Structure 1
Amino acid sequence: MLKAVLLDVDFTLVRPGPELGPEGYRRIGARHGLTLDTARHEQARHDAVAKLQRHPDLVHDEDLWIAFTVEIVLGMGGSEPAARACALDVVRQWERHENFFLYEDALPALEALRARNLRIGLVSNGQRDLEEFARHHSLDVDVCVASMSHGRVKPHHSIFQAALAALDAEPAEAAMVGDSYADDIEGARALGMRAILVDREGVFADEPDRIDTLLALPAALGLPPVPD
């Protein structure tokens, strides 16, 4: 029987606002004397993802995120040494809770899980205080496990295990919900959890356990109707 649901945060429950997009990079770049081309942002980010080399033991390492952001700045037309200073400012923006907006389906999905008496946990990679983030966005959850405080990033098994232990649930009694196939889905399944892919853009059309909106989550989990 399902006892707990773990959820990713970025691009699952929340989306980044303008300060974290092309215009945000342009504005921050200008403060560092850089002229960044917003039209090159998408390709620059794609190229940075391809170059990203995680720690072999999946240790949370802020320097990796800074290096990743430097690559985006350079790809948008920036140059060293200003690119690193610019990247540091961008990374700091990812730590600001107000720079993110809830998807419209986020709170209704959490309410639907609560209505069925399920325990809820957030599991996230990144540079932020996840508990403060949850409070800021009024996310009704029981536990928050962030890679920054935990020390390992998804898909390392220990970050999922830490959340499950806090929720007093075994892998077979829990499900993971997230937008990253490699981090969320494969990581959870390797531990014996069920996993639901949030595929808002329809990239993984052939994935059987996928939804394009969190409103479909109760049905995807096979949850019974809420009693009257």
Structure 2
Amino acid sequence: MTLPLRAVIFDLDDTLFDDTGCTHAGLRALAAQSGLSVPPAELFARHAAHIRAIDPLLFRGELTAHGARVLRFTRLLTELGVPDPDGEAATVTYREAYRAAWAPLPGAAEVLHELRAAGLRLAVLTNYVREVQALKLAHFGLDALVDAVLCVEEVPAAKPDPRAYHAACAALAVTPAEAVMVGDSREKDVQGARRAGLRAVWVNRGSQAAPEPGVPVIAHLKELPGVLSLVPTG
């Protein structure tokens, strides 16, 4: 028997917050400063690869968020042939443009308000550090609209490990069968959540990836309230 839905757990970046748009803004500024003529899609992909390589050092406490950025941009610019790159200056340039472009995804606050009004408990579960993520949430007042925020250093393991979702459920005092995970990552927000016993909604804004069987797909957050009653058990 399907238990009633009592809680919604959201990813943050590219689910509630427009991280991709901000990243492109930061990289455009960095390319202009450094005289790079790399196609935007290639620059974005190279940058993402360096994030994946360096994040484990950040998560283990071997680097601060700022230190991770300096190392990331030093490596990226070196890879792109910039002689003697200044990682500190690159970090400042990127971060200023990234922050200037900060924006929630359309409907984020409105959907959180609507779900709270419906009596659902809400959480954010993110695979990044609180030092960064808490600022984003607070900047737009989204932190006041959720009951719990769990960042990567506060859970036993990052998504898609089942323990991440179970920690979020525990913070909301619900069972996995009473919760749904909403996010843009097929692996981390859909498949991992379902393996952990949660339901899932996939936020897919144009990816050509094949549908996940049994999982509702939305292109915009405003669609979420309408599909929640249709989410099957995992």
TM-score (norm 2): 0.74
Q: Contact between 1:16 and 1:99, CA under 8 Å: does it hold in 2?
A: no
Matched, 1:136 2:139: yes
Q: Whole-Å Cα distance in 1 between the matches of residues 7 and 224 of structure 2?
A: 13
Q: Whole-Å Cα distance in 2 between the matches of residues 103 and 19 of structure 1?
A: 11
- RMSD over aligned CA atoms reads 3.5
Structure 1, unmatched stretches of 5+, are 224-228
Amino acid at match of 1:101: A
Q: Contact between 1:20 and 1:93, CA under 8 Å: does it hold in 2?
A: no
Q: Deviations over 1:119-161 (max 9, x none)?
A: 0001112243434432221211111111145474322333222
Q: Whole-Å Cα distance in 1 between the matches of residues 81 and 89 of structure 2?
A: 9
1:20 aligned partner: 23
Q: Deviations over 1:9-53 (max 9, x none)?
A: 11111113876325x33534666xx3222x523113324546745
Q: Contact between 2:186 and 2:202, CA under 8 Å: does it hold in 1?
A: yes
TM-score (norm 1): 0.75
Q: Contact between 1:74 and 1:83, CA under 8 Å: does it hold in 2?
A: no
2:126 aligned partner: 124
Q: Contact between 1:25 and 1:73, CA under 8 Å: does it hold in 2?
A: no
Shift of 1:109: 1.5
Shift of 1:113: 1.0
- Count of paired positions: 216
1:79 aligned partner: 82
Matched, 1:191 2:201: no
More displaced stretch, 182-191 vs 170-179: 182-191
Q: Whole-Å Cα distance in 2 between the matches of residues 178 and 8 of structure 1?
A: 5
Q: Give % identity.
A: 29
Higher helix share: 2
Structure 2, unmatched stretches of 5+, are none
Shift of 1:195: 1.1
The change in CA–CA distance for 1:101 and 1:71 in structure 2 (over 3 A counts) is: same
The change in CA–CA distance for 1:35 and 1:153 in structure 2 (over 3 A counts) is: farther
More displaced stretch, 3-12 vs 160-169: 160-169
